[in-house]
Amino acid sequence: MTTKSKKIQDLDLSTISTASGVYLMSGAEGQVLYVGKARNLRARLGNYVRGEDSRAHVQFLLHKVVQVETIVTDTEKEALILENTLIKKHKPRYNINLRDDKTYVSLRIDMNEDFPGIQIVRRVRRDGALYFGPYASVGALKETLKELYRIFPLRHHRWSQCCRRERPCLFYQIGQCSAPCHGKITREEYRVLVNTVIAFLSGRHDDVLTVMHQRMNDAAEVMNFEEAARLRDQIYAIEKTLEQQKVVSQDAVDIDVVGLHREGGEVELCLLFIRGGRLVGRRSYAIRWSLDEDELLAGFLQQYYGKDTVIPPVVVLPFAPSSSEALQLWLAERLGKKVTLHVPQRGPRLDMLALANKNASDSYRERGDRREARHAVLQEIRKQLGLQRLPNRMECYDISHVQGTHTVGSMVVITDGEPDKAAYRHYRIKTVEGSDDYASLHEVLSRRLSRGIEENDLPDMVLIDGGKGQLSMVEDVMTQLGLLTRIDLVSIAKSRVKRNVRGSLESELEKIAGIGPERRKGLLKHCGSVNKIKQASLDDLRQVAGLPETAAQTVYDHFHGDNAD
């Protein structure tokens, strides 16, 4: 593995290897703008150097690039893995960025345990356990598990917790646990239950129903009518659950299907999860992307399956990326068995792909409807706060510390009316000692906005958690950087509030002379709210920790004296 570093305009293609590898494009400040992989580095970079790709967005990227570094790898699969690593490390601005605010979960069953249970997990680890999913709704999954436990009474709690009990838990009493911890079921009988659950979660529903029908008939033949009735009810519950899942194929293998819809620079990708021929869920991503669809699809597969998620043995795609072979090897390595990337030309899988593409198109349309609704909300915010422009990107800042040390600045970002969690940041305070919130805020905003000027990446509105003092501090930063007319500034203070002319909010307690931040905090902690402080008697105020008699009298007079509102 070797590296070379050159400015793009000075790049001598004859010195670039024709082997596979990764290339990093960096800007003037050394920040990595784009990370790519190639089967042939010289051929790929030659397209850029010779200007063969004349698309405006590509030329815009190249205009910012002043340095290109190449890293040669032994195989294309190694290049793919290295590209993933470097993207995670540098978070390049021009690489694909999957924004997904939903939390997906999976079910885990560890067959190495004597009496395996079912766990809801957020990460799929390569630990030899069986994983099923992903599932979009934790609440819906818990409801499904309730039904599953009624049909297949596996243990609910951790084995160590079960064994500490002197008698079986309540779930055993209501017939939703077989109590293996207290010997109420043999290991072999419990394994039959577990294997049936696995068959059910794997989509082999017919196998499950066949076994249960046979058990019901056997119980009826020996006149064990109570057991037969219980199995009959379980069969009915399973059939009712299956009615809610759409059958899309007789294909028994687990399949993920990737649908794609593109309009200009906006792309909607939709994943359909097919388990045992049934559609069990979907997942959508909206991506702003102007480069090749080949790079888009390959990057999407790398980012999605590079996370802790379930990898099926078959992934159906609308077209084959140029790096399909390397992607298949990489996915197989992660799964531990063969994975096929399939582009169907006919048959049921082509129908699945059409359904995925339709879902991507519908999701794009629905997102557009929500975008219009969010736009209306942003217009209302602009009107109510008297902003200069529509607050498409809002950045909210707060300073926190632990007992005067370890001060940290936090930035929360709202993009187009939705939380943009990938853009959230924490700033470690470098130049301020002690708990000086004003100076810390000054440092954070100076660092953020200075970088924003360099990268042409500024917010439309900044929201500060604080009163007049914090507002003035940020105004000072913006004045120094010449941004006061470019960015709208709003501040908000806790407790009872009133709006100022520029949209700031001022606490009623700040009006009281001699009542500083610590005393205000003590009053709020003791009374609970400004309204309750206002209603408190003088004796009540005297009980506030750290509040002298004279200060208590001042607060009382403010709310109850002749000049009170």
Cross-strand partners of 70? 4, 23
pLDDT of the residue at 5: 59
Which residues partner with 269 through β-bridges? Answer: 260, 285
* Predicted local confidence at residue 405, as pLDDT: 65
Distances (CA, A) of 453 to 3, 288, 428, 483: 31, 22, 21, 9
User: What per-residue confidence (pLDDT) applies to 6?
Assistant: 61
- Is 0.85 surpassed by the pTM of this model? no
In whole angstroms, give the CA distance from residue 553 to residue 549: 6
Q: How far is CA 323 from the centre of its chain?
A: 26
Q: What is the pLDDT of residue 124?
A: 84
Domains of the chain: 3-90 (3.40.1440.10), 105-203 (no CATH), 255-364 (3.30.420.340), 393-560 (1.10.150.20)
Two tokens at 502? Answer: 């520029």
Give CA–CA dist 125/122, Å, rounded.
Answer: 10
Residue 229, token pair as written in the block: 């009735």
Cβ neighbours of residue 92 under 8 Å, at least 6 residues apart? 32, 33, 34, 35
The pLDDT of residue 504 is: 37
**In the chain, which residues have pLDDT < 70?**
1-9, 51-60, 99-103, 136-137, 140, 241-250, 290-291, 402-405, 493-501, 503-507, 562-565
Q: What is the pLDDT of residues 406-452, one digit of tens each?
A: 788 899 999 888 888 878 888 888 888 777 788 888 999 999 999 88
Task: Say what the pLDDT of residue 109 is.
Answer: 92
pLDDT tens column, 477-532: 999 999 988 999 998 866 544 443 373 334 577 778 888 878 888 888 787 777 78
pLDDT at 430: 85
For 540: left if phi > 0, alpha if psi spans -120 to 50, otherwise beta; the answer is: alpha
Cis peptide, bond prior to residue 321, ω within 30 of zero: no
Structure confidence by residue, pLDDT tens digits, 225-244? 888 887 888 787 777 766 65
